[in-house]
Amino acid sequence: MKAAMLYQELIRRKRDGQPLTRAEIEALVQGMTSGDLGDAQLGALAMAVVLNGMDLAERVALTEAMRDSGDVLHWDNGPVLDKHATGGIGDTVSLMLAPALAACGAVVPMISGRGLGHTGGTLDKLEAIPGYTTAPDLTLLRKVVGDVGCAIIGQTCQLAPADKRFYAVRDVTATVESLDLITASILSKKLAAGLDALVLDVKCGNGAFMADLAQAKALAQALVAVANGAGCRTSAVITDMNAPLAPAAGNALEVRVALDFLTGRDMPARLWEVTCTLGAEGLALAGLATDARQGRAMVEDAFHSGRAAERFGQMVAALGGPHDLLDAPHKHLPQAPVTADCVALEDGVICGYDTRAIGLAVIELGGGRRQPTDRIDPRVGFAEILPQGTKVARGTVIARVHAADTQAAQRGAKAFTAACQIGAAPPARPLILCRITGAGDG
């Protein structure tokens, strides 16, 4: 490293509010990957970014350097399309959308994550399926995507390793909540999958990391600007997270919701609307549809025709899961030994939920992690959650808790009941709040 590229000098410059060049950022990321940049220096760099921020050119350079720190996948066919959500409760969209997009002609290598904080994770849901491999090697990943059109997996050690190390340091240095670093972390992993297009679902509400619409817009605009700057056609949809998206919260219970959705047994309205909206946007971005209207018709047909379900079943089987999961989920998904009713405490209308509290209640039941090393109980959570706007009387069952024992069920039922907001009428709150394009319009 040249004297002008000493790590401490680059950290000092960012500490003093000066922008870093692409070459300087690439040198820092190379140091992250090799280990030459020590944890203390990496923590200092993260704090300097938190305090002083990065401009768009720096964000793009950081994202691209972290993307290029490991393998970047390339595909013979295309267009290559993916979706990312910023975390919520009852968000099973990825499980239905990936196979639907594949059925519409997209190549979908979906790199997903685990639960973070109070929110659920797609990988944790998939691991409720016996035998499903969430960490295949690249050879198997390529084969499954080539044969089926989609594969939902986790980040491998070969994809964006700089991000994995940087995040571990940020997690213990109070530097997670940086728009610049969040953006680079999310997009470096996604873009390492070799995407042509990406649609983002930025959650907003009491169950989201961004509770305020202005914050959600800022994150969406940052993600869209950087992804487009890195050459990936991207737009975002901001969606409401003031109630669970699906009528369930908990890993195996949410998988069952997804299976019912795919097979047409039950397609909850909120889940249908978000899934089809994101699918329409993604197909238009990828050039598979002339516009979102045509894209929506294509996605809806993929579900109604059963083609999305067929792709999902093929993906599960190809990644080690049971071949008859769609037809016989009760044979394969783990079930909790104890269930109990959660009941309304008064007459009225369900106006909404303290959605974050529901996520925390799932963790208390054992369905999430308090520590990174914790094992998840995939059986537990809440099912049959009544939607907003439902009229209830005192004693009406508003959900059912699934638990490992009676005491946990009693605690879970109490927590859920407390999280249910009953009043005279639900607020007039749209599900799709706004759309953020490459131009930054909302």
Q: Is 185 a catalytic residue?
A: yes
| Residue 199 near residue 280 (C-beta atoms within 8 A) | no
Q: Is the Cα dihedral 425, 355, 396, 344 positive or negative?
A: negative
Tokens of 15: 């500490």
Q: Is 163 a catalytic residue?
A: yes
Tokens of 304: 């109604």
Burial level of 306, CB count in 10 A (0-12/13-18/19+)? middle
Among 167, 185, 205, CA closest to 89: 205
Residues in CB range of 431: below 8 A, 6 or more apart: 239, 240, 270, 273, 274
Count CB atoms within 10 A of the CB of residue 45.
26
Burial level of 341, CB count in 10 A (0-12/13-18/19+)? middle
- Residue 334 region by backbone torsions, left for phi larger than 0, else alpha for psi between -120 and 50, else beta: beta
Q: How far is CA 345 from CA 210, 248, 357, 407, in A?
A: 30, 20, 17, 20
Beta-sheet pairing, 391-392 with 233-240: unpaired
Q: Which of 163, 260, 354, 377 is flagged as catalytic?
A: 163
Measured between alpha carbons, how far apart are the two ends of the chain, in Å? Answer: 44
Q: Which of 114, 125, 164, 170 is flagged as catalytic?
A: 170
Among 213, 206, 247, CA closest to 357: 206
* 3-state secondary structure (DSSP) of residue 292: helix
Q: Which of 118, 189, 190, 332 is flagged as catalytic?
A: 189
- CB-side exposure of 431: number of CA atoms within 13 Å? 16
Q: Is 178 a catalytic residue?
A: no
Backbone angles phi, psi at 355, to 5 degrees: -70, -35
Q: Is 323 a catalytic residue?
A: no
Q: Which of 14, 59, 84, 400 is flagged as catalytic?
A: 84
Q: Is 170 a catalytic residue?
A: yes
Hey, which residues are catalytic here? 84, 163, 170, 185, 189
